[in-house]
Chain A
Amino acid sequence: MSQTSTRTPIVTLTGVQKYYGDYHALRGITANIGQGEFFSLLGPSGCGKTTLLRAIAGFEDISEGQILLDGKDMEGVAPNRRPTNMVFQSYAIFPHMSVAENVGFGLRKSSMSVAEKRAVVGQALEMVGLGKFGARAAHALSGGQRQRVALARALILKPKVLLLDEPLSALDKKMREVMQVELIKLQREVGITFILVTHDQEEALVMSDRIAVMFEGEIAQLDDPETLYRRPKSRRVAEFIGMMNFLPARVLGEAGGRVGVEVQGLGPAELEAAQCPSGATPGAAEIGVRPESLTLLYDGQTAEGGREASGTVREVVYYGDMTYYDILLDGTPAPVRVSMRNMPGRRVLEFGARARLAWDPRAMVLFG
């Protein structure tokens, strides 16, 4: 479905491999990234996401495979000749230049007149909200401002692809959230393909059109954020993105495109084939279900179709807007996590209280 983009591909990766001596950093990456797409490479540190980004930029030679940028093979093309520009993790603001000199750095060889260049730099600075900062010394800027200068500088050459290497990791939480929104707006405005490297799953979900989750040099799943969140293809992806409960289950059999399972602590359920990414062989398996897909039932409430279970509250974690409960379902060894939005009139349960919860088979994923 969304695994292949409907857009015209601007970056085509085919079987990209990278070795550092004996270390196999990229193990056959194949993907198409579309024109105007906001694409994220998400994974834990050491998964090869930055290596892949740097290979696209031309800072790393690949050992095997092919990288096409706008239809052209990039093998042997130096980074300064590629239609990509990069925002570095450290921002790499030239400390001996002013803000305007930094932003206009890439224009040195262009045929524009000095006045034109000044105008272009001014526009770029306006675009990132730093209109009045042109004459400032670069090393006197705050983290967020440096980030904006780096963005303006990379966008001034109107690259086909903008590469962002963990651009928000150096900012504090508040600033990061502000910049996430600004980056999305900016990307829509300029219409350039953005490829973002991040280890922060929330950041990737918020910003991207599509996300490639990488583990150990391979793409484990490439999907749009919603599919990635709702239908992770493997337990590992599910664990990496958000929070998920894993309940022991037994696959009973398949009939008419529907899979029957018995979930420990909850009961029997029927799943669609799409909920079983690794197939459904009868026998022991696991059911993944997100905390928000389990709902606490308060006095008098009943679950649809009688799909409810009861247990004891073993842990209460209060977050203000949400409360997380660990509930030990009767007859199971490990507790499940349930998240409930806090609302007026909805009381927070106490440690040790009895609780009932409702569940929905549509929110489940089966892992073989």
Chain B
Amino acid sequence: MRVNALAVFTVLYLLVLYAPIVLLPMFAFNAGTVIAFPLQGFTLEWFAALLNTPALHEATLNSLIIAILTAVFSTILGLFAARAATRYGFPGKAGIVGFIMLPLVLPEVIVAISLLIVLMQLGLTSGTWSIIAGHTLICTPFAIAILQGSFSNMDKSLEEAAIDLGETPWSTFRLITLPLVSPGIIASLLICFTISLDEFIIAFFLSGNEPTLPVYLWGQLRFPARLPVVMALGTILVLLSVALLIVAETFRRRGLKRVGLKDTGGFL
């Protein structure tokens, strides 16, 4: 097949898409303290600085706790909804599922301020647990999207066959359903973890005095002297996200293979 203008356009598009990320390591290893060209030489100083910044470590720990719990909660909630949506017809289904998926399109700032205002009006202090609650809300639609794929790829008669052969509904879930959707569950956990780890607005509104990693980063962006360190941190985060994504994608493909389907596309 001949290459055409479309292919050239797509390649240029990809280049622009990657442009910011390509810059990141350049400045992370750049000896100069100003984030501008031309580059000043190679250094590992900024990565070393990451090691002795206790505030950063606290924020990281905080973010990890939030991301792990968010991933677990959203995946559990996602399992319920995805299962209901793929297996059963019930009155008001489109409305209910649509409402659950709403955070996918709602501006995050709306979700964030409405949660914040409720907390404030109830006189509760916001903090880690409220961020988890908010993140679970916005991650659940992603979990549902992924899990719905896994559930709908699974032939309904597989479960019926197990029940027909004497298994109870619960042991059927354990022996048949769970193994077949487990790649989807792992992918969902990883995606929700990644989203929560990166999420800024809700964390920013609700964090109180326990910043998450993005909130900490936001604070650092105001100090020009801290920017090279931020670049180093960003480089690590990018590598981490990409690694997680590759793992998630591998699991998704393995899941497809397991049920004997051909791969047709990525997430969502």
What are the interface flags for A96-124 relative to B under an 8 Å C-beta threshold, 1 for contact and 0 otherwise?
A: 10000000011011000000000000000
Q: How far is the CB of B163 from chain A (nearest CB, A)?
A: 5
| Chain A contacts for B157, CB-based, 8 A | 88-92
- At the interface, yes or no: A198 with Cβ under 8 Å from chain B? no
Q: Tell me if A85 and B180 are in contact (CB < 8 A).
A: no
Interface size on B (CB < 8 Å)? 19
What are the interface flags for B248-264 relative to A under an 8 Å C-beta threshold, 1 for contact and 0 otherwise?
A: 00000000001110000
What are the interface flags for A73-88 relative to B under an 8 Å C-beta threshold, 1 for contact and 0 otherwise?
A: 0000011110011101
Q: How far is the CB of A161 from chain B (nearest CB, A)?
A: 12
- At the interface, yes or no: A65 with Cβ under 8 Å from chain B? no
In the bound complex, what is the Cα–Cα distance between A94 and B164 (angstroms)?
Answer: 13
| Chain B contacts for A86, CB-based, 8 A | 160-161, 164
What are the interface flags for A37-68 relative to B under an 8 Å C-beta threshold, 1 for contact and 0 otherwise?
A: 00000000000000000000101000000000
Secondary structure of the B side of the interface? Answer: helix
Q: Tell me if A80 and B163 are in contact (CB < 8 A).
A: yes
What are the interface flags for B156-200 relative to A under an 8 Å C-beta threshold, 1 for contact and 0 otherwise?
A: 011011111111100000011001100000000000000000000
| Chain A contacts for B258, CB-based, 8 A | 95-96, 139
In the bound complex, what is the Cα–Cα distance between A216 and B166 (angstroms)?
Answer: 32
In the bound complex, what is the Cα–Cα distance between A316 and B30 (angstroms)?
Answer: 88
- At the interface, yes or no: A157 with Cβ under 8 Å from chain B? yes
Q: How far is the CB of B149 from chain A (nearest CB, A)?
A: 16
Q: Tell me if B164 and A80 are in contact (CB < 8 A).
A: yes
Interface size on A (CB < 8 Å)? 25
What are the interface flags for B138-170 relative to A under an 8 Å C-beta threshold, 1 for contact and 0 otherwise?
A: 000000000000000001011011111111100
Contact A157 to B180, CB < 8 A, known contacts A86-B161, A94-B158, A94-B161: no
Contact A139 to B260, CB < 8 A, known contacts A80-B168, A92-B155, A96-B180: yes
Q: Tell me if B166 and A109 are in contact (CB < 8 A).
A: yes
| Chain B contacts for A92, CB-based, 8 A | 155, 157-158, 160-161
Nearest residue (CB) in B for A91 is B157
Q: Tell me if A153 and B180 are in contact (CB < 8 A).
A: no
Contact A78 to B163, CB < 8 A, known contacts A88-B157, A89-B157: yes
| Chain A contacts for B161, CB-based, 8 A | 86, 88, 92, 94, 105, 153
| Chain A contacts for B176, CB-based, 8 A | 94
Q: Tell me if B160 and A80 are in contact (CB < 8 A).
A: no
| Chain B contacts for A95, CB-based, 8 A | 158, 180, 258-260
Q: How far is the CB of A89 from chain B (nearest CB, A)?
A: 7
| Chain A contacts for B158, CB-based, 8 A | 92, 94-95
Q: Tell me if B164 and A84 are in contact (CB < 8 A).
A: yes
Nearest residue (CB) in A for B161 is A92
Contact A88 to B167, CB < 8 A, known contacts A95-B180, A95-B258, A139-B259: no
In the bound complex, what is the Cα–Cα distance between A78 and B260 (angstroms)?
Answer: 30
Q: How far is the CB of B162 from chain A (nearest CB, A)?
A: 7
Q: Tell me if B165 and A106 are in contact (CB < 8 A).
A: yes
Contact A106 to B155, CB < 8 A, known contacts A95-B259, A96-B180: no
Q: Tell me if B164 and A79 are in contact (CB < 8 A).
A: yes
Q: How far is the CB of A167 from chain B (nearest CB, A)?
A: 12
| Chain A contacts for B166, CB-based, 8 A | 80-81, 106, 108-109, 157
| Chain A contacts for B165, CB-based, 8 A | 80, 85, 105-106, 153-154, 157
Nearest residue (CB) in A for B167 is A80
In the bound complex, what is the Cα–Cα distance between A57 and B166 (angstroms)?
Answer: 12
- Mark out the residues of chain A between 100 and 152 whose CB falls within 8 Å of any chain B CB in the assembled complex: 105-106, 108-109, 139
| Chain A contacts for B259, CB-based, 8 A | 95-96, 139
In the bound complex, what is the Cα–Cα distance between A90 and B156 (angstroms)?
Answer: 9
Q: Tell me if A96 and B164 are in contact (CB < 8 A).
A: no
Q: How far is the CB of B204 from chain A (nearest CB, A)?
A: 43
| Chain A contacts for B167, CB-based, 8 A | 80, 108
| Chain B contacts for A96, CB-based, 8 A | 179-180, 258-259
In the bound complex, what is the Cα–Cα distance between A225 and B262 (angstroms)?
Answer: 43
B157, B158, B258 — most chain A CB neighbours (10 Å): B157
Q: How far is the CB of B174 from chain A (nearest CB, A)?
A: 11
Contact A57 to B155, CB < 8 A, known contacts A95-B180, A96-B258, A139-B259: no
Q: Tell me if B180 and A79 are in contact (CB < 8 A).
A: no
Nearest residue (CB) in B for A86 is B164
Nearest residue (CB) in B for A110 is B166
| Chain A contacts for B160, CB-based, 8 A | 59, 79, 86, 88, 92
What are the interface flags for A309-329 relative to B under an 8 Å C-beta threshold, 1 for contact and 0 otherwise?
A: 000000000000000000000
Q: Tell me if B164 and A85 are in contact (CB < 8 A).
A: yes
Query: Residues of A with Cβ closer than 8 Å to B?
Result: 57, 59, 78-81, 84-86, 88-92, 94-96, 105-106, 108-109, 139, 153-154, 157
Other 15 A-B pairs with CB < 8 A, given A86-B164, A154-B164: A79-B164, A80-B164, A84-B164, A88-B160, A88-B161, A89-B157, A90-B155, A92-B160, A94-B161, A94-B176, A95-B258, A95-B259, A105-B162, A109-B166, A153-B161
A-B contact pairs, 18 of them (CB 8 A): A80-B163, A80-B168, A85-B165, A86-B160, A86-B164, A88-B161, A90-B157, A92-B155, A95-B158, A95-B260, A105-B165, A106-B165, A108-B167, A108-B175, A139-B258, A139-B260, A153-B165, A157-B165
